[in-house]
Chains A and B, each alone.
Chain A
Amino acid sequence: MTHEVVRAGARAHIDQRTFQEGRTLFVSRCIECHTLPVVSRYDPVAWPWLVDDMAARASLKPAEREALVAYILAVRAQP
């Protein structure tokens, strides 16, 4: 994980564990169906809705869904 990405998590006030869990889910669970999109491709408001739409298909538990959205939004908020 790059320092920039870690700093993005810190700026978004996500604890390290949630951030790491979100990243692990992003790079493993999402690719079961599709390749990984660039996170800037979708608006921050759209991301929670997009994840919700695929959460059941990816067997995401509520806490995993939260961690995944938090990770995406933290990386999305990078300058």
Chain B
Amino acid sequence: MRHFTFLYETTTAPPGSIEFENWATLQTGNPDDRRFSEFDFRHEFEFGITNRLQLSLYLADWRYQTGFADRASGFAYSASAIEAIYNLTNPVIDPVGISLYEEIRVGDRLVESESKLIAQKNLGPLIIAYNATLEAVWKGSGLEEQEGELQQALGASYELSPSLSAGLEMLHEFVFPKWDASEHTQNFFIGPNLSLRRGRWFATVTALAQATQTADEPDWQIRTIVGFGF
């Protein structure tokens, strides 16, 4: 169950539980090519292992791209991934809830490592979450191309009723091509989110707009996660 789509929460799935989550992200428009659109899809099985540990398997990430001036539109497989989240402190009874996150993604001429520190505080019906992320990417036929990314994200979600929450998400990225600080770009995205849940189902959607003017980043990112617990 997620209140955010671009942020993770410190809570982990109950031991013995299995949840299936489908992600769809639309990235569209950028200052270089207004017609550009990319749809990214992820299909995740989430397993509650202990009261503090959760493991996930991303079966197949794939995408559909359209609107390029110099390339044909089409589908492509991106990668598969495994992920672990370990909870250290509770967001209700401890001053701050903390969890650690690690994801390894492997695809066609691609290896990615994503490490996160997740912080969260629940204040009555309000959830405040913060993620600090370090991402390392190796790509190319010999994995010779390297890229790094530092990211911080802040979100708030207010529970309007037991089945409906609404809030805000912010994303601040520093991208380092070849890990070169002199060539880094900085992007900032902000937008609202909405989360619905009923029984074993939930659906959460976030629409982010780019507040910076980075040429090769999308103007808009809209992500939906729909999940079902078994």
User: Could you list which residues of chain A lie within 8 angstroms of chain B, going by C-beta atoms?
Assistant: 27-29, 31-37, 56-60
Contacts of A33 in B (CB 8 A): 1, 197, 202
Cα distance A68–B1 when bound, in Å? 20
Contact status A32-B11, CB under 8 Å: yes
Segment at the interface with A among B12-20, B106-114, B214-222: B12-20
17 contacts between A and B (CB under 8 A): A27-B93, A28-B90, A31-B11, A33-B1, A33-B197, A34-B1, A34-B159, A34-B162, A35-B124, A35-B127, A36-B92, A37-B162, A56-B200, A57-B199, A59-B16, A59-B17, A59-B48
Contacts of A31 in B (CB 8 A): 11, 91-92, 122
Is B191 an interface residue when CB atoms closer than 8 A count as contact? no
Q: What sequence of 0s and 1s flags, for each residue 64-103 of chain B, a beta carbon within 8 Å of any chain A beta carbon?
A: 0000000000000000000000000011110000000000
Contact (A58, B14) CB under 8 Å given A34-B162, A34-B197, A35-B125: yes
Is B57 an interface residue when CB atoms closer than 8 A count as contact? no
- A34-B1, A59-B16, A59-B48 are known; give 19 further A-B pairs, CB within 8 A: A28-B11, A28-B92, A29-B14, A31-B11, A31-B92, A31-B122, A34-B159, A34-B162, A34-B197, A35-B122, A35-B124, A35-B125, A35-B127, A35-B159, A37-B162, A57-B200, A58-B14, A59-B15, A59-B17
* Nearest chain B residue, comparing its CB with the CB of A58: B14
Contact status A36-B122, CB under 8 Å: yes
B contact residues, total (Cβ < 8 Å) = 26
Is B213 an interface residue when CB atoms closer than 8 A count as contact? no
Cα distance A28–B12 when bound, in Å? 9
B168 to chain A minimum Cβ distance, whole angstroms, is: 16
User: Could you list which residues of chain B lie within 8 angstroms of chain A, going by C-beta atoms?
Assistant: 1, 11-17, 48, 51, 90-93, 122, 124-127, 159, 162, 197, 199-200, 202, 229
User: Per a CB cutoff under 8 Å, which of A28, A32, A59 touches B1?
Assistant: A32
Cα distance A60–B16 when bound, in Å? 10
Contacts of B162 in A (CB 8 A): 34, 37
Cα distance A29–B93 when bound, in Å? 13
* Nearest chain B residue, comparing its CB with the CB of A54: B199
Contact status A28-B197, CB under 8 Å: no
Contact status B12-A32, CB under 8 Å: yes
* Nearest chain B residue, comparing its CB with the CB of A64: B14
Contacts of A28 in B (CB 8 A): 11, 51, 90, 92
Contacts of B199 in A (CB 8 A): 57
Contact status A59-B14, CB under 8 Å: yes
Contacts of B124 in A (CB 8 A): 35
Indicate the member of A29, A36, A56, A59 with the most B CB atoms within 10 Å: A59
Contacts of B127 in A (CB 8 A): 35
Cα distance A57–B200 when bound, in Å? 6
